[in-house]
Amino acid sequence: MKTLYDSFLQWIAGTTWGHFIAGASEGQEDATVVRNIFIQDLYLYAMCYLLFIAAGALFYYYFMLNKRGGSGFGFKLKYWIYTLLTAALLTFTLTTLTSVATVSRFHSLHTLKYCLGLGIINALYTAALFFGTSLIVKKFSVANRTPF
């Protein structure tokens, strides 16, 4: 799990944790604490947000919006895309706000690019998980032709 986030986050941030810590000059201890917060806490929070929001979006789209006897308007591809984008946006927002709030006391280290990077990564992973599991879940729903 950690490597799924860590290497991608360093790539998005454009630097490694080693460079981040070394560049903090007098605040190297704080920079190490920030790195540890990301690795030990924020990656776990991000994964939990990812799983719960993707599962909730799947349940909402396939079993609430498209329930048997309903209007069936959710069968359209655009509503599937809206659900995917809403789940990704919600995951991005929650992940970014949580990470900013968690490392806010280290504002002198300029951690915003890491917080935004983690939010972007989590939004992409949510979209990928929603897409992948849609291929399986759709077989058990009346909306068995979406996304394809």
Burial 51-60 (b: 16+ CB within 10 A, else e): eebbeebbee
Model pTM? 0.86
**Tally of CA atoms within 13 A in the half-sphere of 53 that contains its CB:** 26
Type of residue found at 59 = F
Please give the pLDDT value at position 73: 58
pLDDT tens digit at each of 148 positions of the chain: 667 888 888 888 888 777 777 777 777 888 888 888 888 999 999 999 999 999 999 988 888 877 755 555 556 778 889 999 999 999 999 999 999 999 988 877 788 888 999 999 999 999 999 999 988 887 777 666 666 6
Please give the pLDDT value at position 146: 67
Residue 17, SS3? helix
| Cα separation values, 77 from 3, 41, 61, 67, 83, Å | 33, 36, 11, 16, 10
